[in-house]
Amino acid sequence: MIERPPATSTPSFAVEAKLPKKVLIVDDSGTIRQQVCAVLSGAGFDVIEAGDGVAALEMLGHHQVALAIVDVNMPRLDGLGMLEQMRADPRLTSVPVLMLTTEVQQSMIARARAAGARGWMVKPVHNENLIQAVLKLTGQGPSRSS
């Protein structure tokens, strides 16, 4: 039998606030993954990475993330396919997804939005824009960076 420590009066949100939020970056480019990891780690996030949609979905089975940043054009399973699979999975349906891509057409953006994406970021990645978007989508608001 597991002996549990006595309950403390510390509210759970206070404990959670000390843990870095985990962000998943999914891109077949190691250059982009490295950039996003470095920028978000520097901003206090815990970043994990995957090289395509299949690997990312597998990782999401083992990690609880506050946000997934997902490239559109990838081998094996592209970003929109991954997004659709996440929205069909009750465990992942509420994870916010920010698409990161070179694609600029309104029809693609509308398709991602309809599939449940929370944002669309066009490469190249500007560090400050990335941090602001991630803070917003992980519910930490723009004030955290100031």
48: its two tokens = 């994990």
Nearest to 85 by CA among 65, 55, 107, 64: 55
* Contact flag: residue 28 with other proteins (CB under 8 A): yes
Nearest-angstrom CA–CA distance, 50 and 65: 13
Residues pairing with 100 in the sheet: 71, 121
102 binds other proteins (CB under 8 A): yes
Among 10, 106, 143, 146, binds other proteins (CB under 8 A): 106
Name which of 15 and 34 has its Cβ closer to other proteins: 34
DSSP-based three-state secondary structure for 62? coil
Site for other proteins in 62-91 (CB under 8 A): 73-75
Q: Find, among 29, 107, 40, 30, the residue nearest to 68 by Cα.
A: 40
**Choice from 9, 94, 105, 146 touching other proteins (CB under 8 A):** 105
Residues lying near other proteins in the complex (CB under 8 A) are found at 28-32, 34-35, 38-39, 73-75, 101-106, 109, 113, 117-127, 129-130, 132-133, 136-137
